[in-house]
Copies of this chain bind each other. A is one copy, B any other.
Amino acid sequence: MRPGGRTSRTRAAVFDAAMAELAEKGFAGTGMEKIAARAGVATSTVYRRWGGLTGLLQDLVDEITLDVQLTDAGPLAADLAQIARVILLLNRHPVHRPWMDAVVTAAVHDPAARQVLTRTIRRRIDGTAPIVARAAQRGEIPADTDGDEVIRMLAAPFYYRMYISGEPITDDLPDRVAAAVVAAVQAGTLRRTH
């Protein structure tokens, strides 16, 4: 059943409230009661629908990222730069970034958070690797290129700066990393090994 009418409006109101709460107070200061109050719906409705804060935020983050429309007109460097720019935007997003900070921190010690993060990344790889496959179909790159690994190589330098080196992410990084990854692909260094 697709949500519509009142259900759809509730969903939108709760998401708006959750985004406002997260942006204002960060992950630690955000609770189901406050979100429900801000959205003008009963707390029980929010719990019934999402189970808890983790479920609600997962759904919200999925919606943020699924909203993004990617094109794959080629050449591959342009398509990959586009994906990298989405990573950059998510990194600066007032809801996505606090969510990501919270889940990365929790994932180090909490298997449930680890699972949420791994599943989220898995879905993003699954959603973008077909763009690499189509470049192979166009004959731009070797047919046995490992699309998953291409996406990992593309994404890794952004997360490395965010959570490891702490160095700034400059606006030219998407184009630079995309060009580097395409060169690696074209040289045949990112083929499937199995």
Contacts and interface: CB of A to CB of B under 8 A. Distances in A.
Interface string A144-176: 000001001101110111011111000010001
Contacts of A179: 184, 189
Nearest to A175: B189
Contacts of A177: 153
Nearest to A103: B164
Interface residues on A, range: 35 or more
A179 to B, nearest CB: 4
Interface string A115-136: 0011001100100000000000
Contacts of A153: 153, 157, 177, 180
B164 A159 contact: yes
6 contacts: A107-B163, A114-B166, A117-B164, A117-B165, A152-B160, A153-B153
Given A104-B164, A153-B153, 14 more contacts: A104-B163, A105-B105, A118-B165, A118-B166, A121-B166, A122-B165, A153-B177, A156-B157, A159-B160, A179-B189, A180-B189, A181-B184, A183-B187, A183-B189
